[in-house]
Amino acid sequence: MSTHAALVIGIDYGTDSVRALLMNALNGEEIATSVFQYPRWKKGLYCEPAKNQFRQHPLDYVEGLEATVKDCLKQAGADAASRVKGIAIDTTGSTPVAVDATGTPLALLPGFEENPHAMFVLWKDHTGTHEAAEINAHALKYATNYLQYVGGIYSSEWFWAKLLRTLRVDEKVRAACYSWVEHCDWIPYLLTGGNDVSQMKRGVCSAGHKALWAKEFGGLPPEEFFTELDPLLTGFRSRLFTDTYTSDKPAGQLSKDWANKLGLTTDVVVAVGAFDAHMGAVGGEIEPYYLSKVMGTSTCDMLVAPKKQMDGKLVAGICGQVDGSIIPGMYGLEAGQSAFGDTYAWFKNLLSWPLENLLSESKIIDKATADKLKEELEGQMIEKLSLEAAKLSLQATDEIAIDWLNGRRTPDANQLLKAGIAGLNLASDAPRIFKSLVEATCFGAKAIVDRFVAQGVPVKGLIGLGGVAKKSPYIMQTMADVMGMPIKIHKSEQTCARGAAMFAATAAGLYPMVEEAMEAMGQGFDAEYHPDHKKHTIHQERYEKFKALGHFIETKMTVNN
């Protein structure tokens, strides 16, 4: 089929919103884009941050899907719908949900509409820390190391820890839960009209990185692994999946119901889903041994390596290495940080306390003016802090921070860890502390690179993707200085949706391989930051202090509760 008239849609489900991107499959031209903020999530419903509970209602996802796709088609004009050939979806992960035998999330069923345990358990929900610890201890009992392909440590952010936690805390959900489904697998299933969860096509991305699936095991670990962990898991393995699929394969075609809702045809191919950072790496034109860093609220660091060159290599303490999880035919390796942009957001919120709590009580200005002033100041805060921090000299004795505000994802997952700041004195003002936090997030990134290199996987360079990479020159320059290597920034501000569109084009048969779609539809790079070698030398000295402070916090101050 000629790609001259073909359009494809990439749908990117992020933490706060969903974005649809309508693209020309021939050259990657962006025809239209639309963003939908999750209304229930925006209100903070079903979440308890103090308990690390973060849940999202499936209606936020469904409403956003319909709204954004229809908006894109409206923007593109009358003939656009007939030209759409494929749709692909990426989502956050691991973000699973309890479903019935039809594959319907329980929160969409009567009696469960307001139950957080019947909703999607967002990636950053850490309520399953105890369950993750149990899985790690339990895995040591077996001759086969079922954790070897997920870095050797199971995380509370992942599939089985979240399922076990849900089954334990909610008897009603436990009784109704037939199976457990990742967000990235559910949306394609929804669009293709699935009504039997046993027929759902599960992506190798989510299965391999979060659910302990490996072809070397013949699929998931055996039933006894789960039943001996907790009898509540009895039977779930058989109601999950055996086969998995790469995202260049079709999950099916658009159902009649969804074709009518969206104004498309049932000829539209829907690709197998994957996680946002994995498709984002493709949208950002990843190359072998270049670490693709999707930098948003957290980071997901992706690396691809030829299969032959990974023989016998298992990198400990990362989020897995899976054949075909990013680019089919290569191993995809994932790492990341639990808080990146969230670290800066935390500091902004800390500084904004007077604006939130005192400004509205002012007797000098009215409430409307107070609200506008608050919005203006908060909007300028990070940019101004960055400008002032960039002016500061870099000294070995400066304040030093640890970036574990939401625990540590990699290397060596431990979501119970807490952050810290040391070296404070009476001159430690907001720009200086902000500088230490930026440096800490970059040191956390360096720890990931060091782990890859130490275990035989070279890192040749860095690719920056996402909002922080595009909007924060100071942070990106610090990243280059800390790493001692360049970081190039991709042109697109929506590489995840762009990568999804590339997979849509491949699944629809417009390209035989995703690499060809990536070459034809890629935008290239528009900035590159090079390290200041003098600063790199000082950062190296400070990195040792970072590691020492981290070791102290981990060994002396961690409370396992």
Residues 315 and 455: beta-carbon distance below 8 Å:
yes
Total domains present in the chain? 2
Average pLDDT, the chain: 95
| pLDDT of res. 484 | 97
Instruction: For residue range 304-349, list pLDDT tens digits in order.
Output: 999 999 988 999 999 999 999 999 999 999 999 999 999 999 999 9
Question: Cα(190)–Cα(261) distance, rounded to whole angstroms?
Answer: 12
Does residue 236 share a domain with residue 108? yes
Is residue 300 assigned to a domain?
no
| pLDDT of res. 151 | 92
Is residue 299 assigned to a domain?
no
Does residue 145 share a domain with residue 19? yes
| pLDDT of res. 297 | 86
Instruction: For residue range 366-399, list pLDDT tens digits in order.
Output: 989 999 999 999 999 999 999 999 999 999 999 9
Does residue 409 share a domain with residue 552? yes
Does residue 501 share a domain with residue 358? no
Can you state the percent helix, strand and coil of the chain, rounding each to 5? 45, 20, 35
Residue 337 neighbours by CB under 8 Å, 6+ apart: 298, 299, 301, 403, 408, 409, 410, 441, 444, 445, 448
Does residue 433 share a domain with residue 367? yes
Does residue 415 share a domain with residue 270? no
Q: Taking 90 as the threshold, does the pLDDT of residue 560 lie above it?
A: no
Does residue 256 share a domain with residue 172? yes
Instruction: For residue range 432-442, list pLDDT tens digits in order.
Output: 999 999 999 99
Does residue 155 share a domain with residue 253? yes
Pairing of strands 84-91, 269-271: parallel
Q: Once rounded to an integer, what is the mean pLDDT over residues 58-64? A: 98
| pLDDT of res. 78 | 87
Does residue 260 share a domain with residue 234? yes
Does residue 191 share a domain with residue 144? yes
- CA neighbor of 501 nearest in space, from 262, 280, 267: 280
User: What secondary structure letter does DSSP report for 222?
Assistant: P
Among the residue ranges 164-168, 246-250, 312-316, 344-348, the one predicted with the least confidence is 312-316
Instruction: For residue range 409-425, list pLDDT tens digits in order.
Output: 999 989 889 999 999 99
In the three-class reduction of DSSP (H, G, I as helix; E, B as strand; rest coil), residue 246 is classed as: coil
Does residue 511 share a domain with residue 545? no
Query: Is the bond preceding residue 338 a cis peptide, omega within 30 degrees?
Result: no
* Its pTM surpasses 0.85: yes
User: C-alpha 359: how far from its chain's center?
Assistant: 35
Q: Once rounded to an integer, what is the mean pLDDT over residues 157-172? A: 98
How much of the chain exceeds pLDDT 90, in percent?
Answer: 93
Find the angle CA(460)-CA(402)-CA(549) to the nearest 5 degrees: 100
Phi and psi based region of residue 515 (left: phi greater than 0; alpha: psi -120 to 50; beta: remaining): alpha
Is residue 303 assigned to a domain?
no
Q: How confident is the model at residue 143 (pLDDT cuts 50, 70, 90)?
A: very high
Question: Cα(200)–Cα(252) distance, rounded to whole angstroms?
Answer: 10
| pLDDT of res. 329 | 93
- Residue 169 sits in a domain whose CATH number is 3.30.420.40
Does residue 130 share a domain with residue 31? yes
Residues 269 and 307: beta-carbon distance below 8 Å:
no
| pLDDT of res. 487 | 97
| pLDDT of res. 415 | 86
Residues 334 and 278: beta-carbon distance below 8 Å:
yes
Is residue 2 assigned to a domain?
no
Can you give the residue range of the structural domain that contains 364?
Answer: 341-491+531-557
Q: Taking 50 as the threshold, does the pLDDT of residue 2 lie above it?
A: no
Q: Taking 80 as the threshold, does the pLDDT of residue 354 lie above it?
A: yes
Q: Taking 60 as the threshold, does the pLDDT of residue 561 lie above it?
A: no
Q: Taking 80 as the threshold, does the pLDDT of residue 558 lie above it?
A: no
